[in-house]
Amino acid sequence: MSGPDKPKVIGEEWSDERVKSFLAIEPYDSAKNADFNALLKAYQAMRASDFERFIGFFVEAGRNLNGVNEHGETILDLVSEHRRSVDYAKALEQAGGKRLAAAGN
């Protein structure tokens, strides 16, 4: 946590354990897709290289890269909307992530 008396840490190395800890993240609303939620939280918190490592652990754990949110979007649909997220999208595509919502637009 950063604040006036604690500087923000940038470029900190993440251990495998820290990256894997995002596998345990559950949505507050049980109606939300747990796989999409874990991917979203990892995407929001991690650098692209750490996110790519997370995806490997995610797939290894038998989780669904193509789980959807309440709008029928996969995490790849969402990430693809952000112009600075090319590396995140590439990692998802290489692991088998699909765009679902874009096909309907």
- Digit-coded pLDDT (tens) for 61-83: 999 999 999 999 999 999 999 99
Residue 75: count of CB within 10 angstroms of its CB: 28
Tokens 């604040």 belong to 3
| Model pTM score | 0.83
Predicted confidence pLDDT, tens digits, the chain (105 residues): 444 555 545 567 899 999 999 999 998 888 789 999 999 999 999 999 999 999 999 999 999 999 999 999 999 999 999 999 999 999 999 999 999 875 444
Contact 73, 66 (CB under 8 A): no
CA pair distance 100, 105, nearest whole angstrom: 10
